[in-house]
Amino acid sequence: MVPPSAIETITEPVTQTNAYLRLHPAGTGNYTDFSSGNNYKREKEEQGGDGVKPASYPNYLPTWDPKQKYPPLEHFEHYEHGKEADPSFPNLLPSGTRITDLTPTTGTEVDGIQLSSLSDAGKDELARFVAERKVVAFRNQDFAGLPIDQALEYGGYFGRHHVHPTSGSPADHPEIHLVHRAAGDELLNTLLDTRTSSVAWHSDVTYEQQPPGTTFLYILDSPDTGGDTLFANTAEAYNRLSPGFQERLHGLKAVHSGVEQVNNSLKRGGVNRRDPVINEHPIVRTHPVTGEKALFVNPNFTREIVGYKKEESDAILKFLYDHIAYGADFHVRIKWAKGTVVVWDNRVTQHTALLDWKNGQRRHLARITPQAERPYETPFRA
């Protein structure tokens, strides 16, 4: 069953938590955005010229339609397919598939299968495999060449499509979130004039009542080298904490805000497809398939801990942000190549793009972002 689209008014409203920002006036939190926005020349991207190749997939070039306005998201009943999956993965990883674990705990590369050809049983196993390995890079895929409607139908198996409130999307397909830096973009040449790093750890749109689960990102164009993506395993980050600190975090909730993202978009002349929201989520969430506990805070969208004073909240959140960011032994670095589709589980990971190439080559990717259950926690067990 394909879930309803988030551009429709859905069913089943639920009781809101009345989340609000007590310590941070709305719109004053830290939000990092290195995107180029709508500042690109579409004709040049489509046609190329002056030594610049045209975009490989012009149907995926970003648009920002100010007429796209959608009502608030309402609750939907998420069905987690990974729960039904065969843990030996016979339909996903048949004999002959090349499987390489990138680190002991985090990240795997797979070659020799086509995601687009998976049966429903294979898709169920995909959800479970990604939940276990956190992020999986599937090489030599045909996904980018599928009609966009077909790609969305595929992604919709895993949850309701999220429509991003501010990002660029292909014309008539607001469910696709685009990551696009045009050929010749000069922002990268000035970015490090004011910052020491382009790293911006986050999990996607955690301000939503039901943030994403199994998520797909596929390459359209990439620099010859550079533009990799780092992922952090936030379940392993939780495991590294002492039992006493783990127990202290249980029961705490943090406020996640989408206000700053919308304000940033409007300041740059961008769009706002839906009014921004603020939601509370547990700092430690439980994965519905693996039962693992994971840290669920990130500096881009988390603002404060409910019930704590500012200095208390800031100190704990900074420790957790630093713990995740510095944990190189539970990180993995994914290098992009033609035909790569990266699938990760937003419930148990964070990620950051690396803006480290300076030759002006295009970086263009498309993300399908199925929403999942509302974050919940289970009791602490030492």
Domain definitions of the chain by residue range = 54-368
Query: Per the structure block, which two tokens stand in for 120?
Result: 């429903």
SS3 category, 221: strand
Residue ranges in the chain assigned as alpha helix (H): 42-47, 120-133, 148-155, 187-194, 234-239, 243-249, 259-267, 310-326
Q: Give the residue carrying structure tokens 């599928």.
A: 146
Distance of CA 312 to the CA centre of its chain: 28
- Enter the pTM of the model: 0.92
Catalytic residue among 81, 128, 181, 204: 204
Report the helix count and the strand count for the chain, using DSSP H and E: 8, 15
Instruction: With a cut of 50, list the residues of the chain below it in pLDDT.
Output: 1-17
Rounded to the nearest 5°, which phi and psi values hold at 229?
A: -125, 130
- What are the pLDDT digits (tens) for 283-342? 999 999 999 999 999 999 999 999 999 999 999 999 999 999 999 999 999 999 999 999
For domain 54-368, give the CATH number: 3.60.130.10
- What are the pLDDT digits (tens) for 253-298? 999 999 999 998 998 889 999 999 999 999 999 999 999 999 999 9
- 138: β partners: 110, 341
274: left (phi over 0), alpha (psi -120 to 50) or beta: beta
Q: Give the residue carrying structure tokens 């029961």.
A: 251
What is the DSSP pairing of strand 135-138 with strand 108-111? parallel
Active site residue 204: yes
Q: What is the pLDDT of residue 27?
A: 61
Q: Give the residue carrying structure tokens 């609000």.
A: 20
Catalytic residue among 133, 160, 164, 351: 351
Rounded to the nearest 5°, which phi and psi values hold at 284?
A: -115, 115
- What is the distance between the alpha carbons of residues 229 and 26, in angstroms, rounded to a whole number? 30
- What is the distance between the alpha carbons of residues 2 and 154, in angstroms, rounded to a whole number? 9
Active site residue 367: yes
Active site residue 81: no
- 254: β partners: 281, 305
Q: What is the pLDDT of residue 298?
A: 98
318 contacts: CB under 8 Å, gap ≥ 6: none
First to last CA, the chain: 39
DSSP of 239-270, one letter per residue? HTS-HHHHHHHTT-EEEEE-HHHHHHHHHTT-
Q: What is the pLDDT of residue 188?
A: 73
Active site residue 22: no
